[in-house]
Amino acid sequence: MATLRVPRQQPGRRPAVARPASARRFGPAGPDVDAAARQVTGEVFGRDRDGRRAYPSAGGLYAVRGHLVQSHAGAVLACAGDEQPTVGVIDAGAVREHAFAQVTGEPNWVVLTGRQPHYQERYGLRGYRYLLLEAGHLAQCLLDAAARAGLRALPVGAFDDEGLAETLGLRGADQLPLYLIALGR
C-alpha cells in the first residue's frame, strides 16, 4: 500500500486562493455600485484581445446570457462585454422577492439565463447538463471578478423560476432562468 505525502503549503499561496464569504446583507444602491457591477459584467462577458471569453462553453455555443438588473438606475442591461444596452426597466425589489427574500439591502442582480435548444440540438439530452455547467463556470467568474472589484456577492440557486422569467419578460421565450448573483457593497 502506497503512502501519500501531504504537499507542503507554498509560501504566499493561501492569500491568492482566499475568497470573501458570501454576503446576504447589502448596503443601499448607488451609482457607484451600478458602475462597479457594469465593470464586473463587462469583464466577464467580454472577450480578450485574442477573442476568447473568460469561461468555457461546450462546443463554443455560449448559450448562457446575462441580464444585469441595476438597483439604483432601475434598468435591465444585456451583458454583452463592453457594450451593455438597456433592454428594459424593472424594480430590483421584484428580483429580490423572487429570490425568496434571501437577501437584504439593494444589490444589483445578474440573472443568468440559458437557451436549452442550442445545446439540445447538438448534444441531445446531455445538452441540458452542459448548459448548467456553463452557467456555473460563468457564475464563478462573476464571483471572482466581483471580489477583485471590491464588491460583495451571493450566488442564489433557489428562486421562483416562473416569476423571475415573467418579471424579466422571458415568459414564452426559449430562455430559462438558471442562476442569480447578487452584487453590491
What is the per-residue pLDDT for 80? 80
Cα–Cα distance measured from residue 159 to residue 146, given in angstroms and rounded to the nearest whole number: 21
Q: Is residue 174 part of a domain?
A: yes
Q: Is residue 71 part of a domain?
A: yes
Q: Is the pLDDT of residue 152 over 60?
A: yes
Q: Which segment of 21-25, 34-38, 60-64, 144-148 scores lowest on mean pLDDT?
A: 21-25
Q: Which segment of 11-15, 25-29, 105-109 scores lowest on mean pLDDT?
A: 11-15
Q: Is residue 30 part of a domain?
A: yes
What is the per-residue pLDDT for 15? 52
Q: Among candidates 34, 46, 158, which has minimal Cα distance to 96?
A: 158
Q: Is the pLDDT of residue 116 over 80?
A: yes
Residues 33, 108 contacting (CB under 8 angstroms): yes
Number of domains in the chain: 1
What is the per-residue pLDDT for 64? 95
Domain limits at 118? Answer: 26-184
Q: Is the pLDDT of residue 13 over 80?
A: no
For residue range 70-97, list pLDDT tens digits in order.
999 999 999 987 778 888 899 899 999 9
Q: Is residue 98 part of a domain?
A: yes
Q: Is residue 107 part of a domain?
A: yes
Q: Is residue 12 part of a domain?
A: no
**CATH at residue 71:** 3.40.109.10
Q: Is residue 143 part of a domain?
A: yes
Q: Is residue 91 part of a domain?
A: yes
DSSP string, 56-117: --GGG---EEEEEE-TTT-EEEEE-TT---EEEE--HHHHHHHTTT--BS--EEEEEEEEHH
Q: Is the pLDDT of residue 2 over 70?
A: no
Average pLDDT, the chain: 89
